[in-house]
């Protein structure tokens, strides 16, 4: 399992488009940009809706549960700040509430071999400093099958 305790992460710098996302994360909530016209979510935040070009966008809460869309396991230690965590899993997550909006995170609290496309994950919040809290992910309990 990756040891993140000795890793110094670059700190995100919120801007006018992304500040609501980071302010929500600091409160321990997940909010994504949503088009008020076609109702689709998108991430990262953008100036316009990438589906319907509406500029009427607001941040709305979403549940922090979804699936691994894709991932990579990093072995290369080019950046020494991340070297203590190698090998680590960087994952792309598609939330159940926001199909098509792809979030980046690390898979925490599990061996990297647990990273698989389709694996269920849920958000955990990792405080980086007073201003920034990172939404991260851990394995979720498998979805209860409703199939007969």
Is residue 142 part of the contact set for other proteins (CB under 8 A)? no
**Do 70 and 76 contact (CB within 8 A), yes or no?**
no
| 96-98-103-109 Cα dihedral, nearest 10 degrees | -20
Is residue 59 part of the contact set for other proteins (CB under 8 A)? no
Q: Give the helix/strand (H/E) hosting 133.
A: strand 133-139
Using the minimum distance from each CB to other proteins, give the nearer residue, 74 or 140: 74
Distance, CA of 100 to CA of 107 (rounded, Å): 20
Distance, CA of 114 to CA of 78 (rounded, Å): 24
Could you give the string, one character per residue 71-110, with x where binding to other proteins holds by CB under 8 A and - elsewhere? xxxxxx-xx-xx--x-xx-x-x---------xxxxx----
Using the minimum distance from each CB to other proteins, give the nearer residue, 65 or 105: 105
Is residue 146 part of the contact set for other proteins (CB under 8 A)? no
Distance, CA of 70 to CA of 58 (rounded, Å): 27
Shortest gap between Cβ of 148 and other proteins (angstroms)?
A: 26
Within 19-38, the residues that bind other proteins by CB under 8 A are: none
How many C-beta atoms surround the C-beta of residue 135 within 10 A? 20
- Binding residue for other proteins (CB under 8 A) from 1, 3, 6, 11? 11
Q: Which one of the spans 14-22, 23-31, 58-66, 140-148 is the region binding other proteins (CB under 8 A)? A: 14-22
Residues 6 or more apart whose Cβ sits within 8 Å of residue 6: 84, 85
Is residue 18 part of the contact set for other proteins (CB under 8 A)? yes
Which stretches of the chain bind other proteins, using CB under 8 A?
7, 9-15, 18, 42-44, 46, 50, 69-76, 78-79, 81-82, 85, 87-88, 90, 92, 102-106, 116-118, 128, 134
């Amino acid at each position: 399992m990756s040891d993140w305790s000795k890793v110094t992460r670059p700190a995100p710098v919120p801007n006018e488009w992304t500040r609501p996302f980071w302010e929500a994360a600091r409160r321990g909530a997940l909010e994504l940009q949503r088009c008020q016209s076609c109702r689709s979510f998108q991430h990262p935040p953008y100036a316009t809706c990438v589906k319907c070009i509406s500029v009427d966008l607001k941040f709305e809460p979403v549940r922090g549960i979804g699936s691994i869309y894709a991932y990579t396991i990093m072995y290369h230690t080019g950046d020494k700040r991340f070297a203590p965590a190698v090998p680590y899993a960087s994952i792309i997550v598609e939330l159940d509430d926001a199909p098509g909006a792809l979030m980046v995170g690390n898979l925490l609290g599990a061996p990297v071999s647990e990273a698989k496309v389709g694996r269920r994950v849920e958000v955990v919040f990792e405080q980086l400093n007073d201003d920034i809290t990172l939404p991260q992910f851990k394995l979720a309990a498998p979805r209860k099958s409703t199939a007969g």
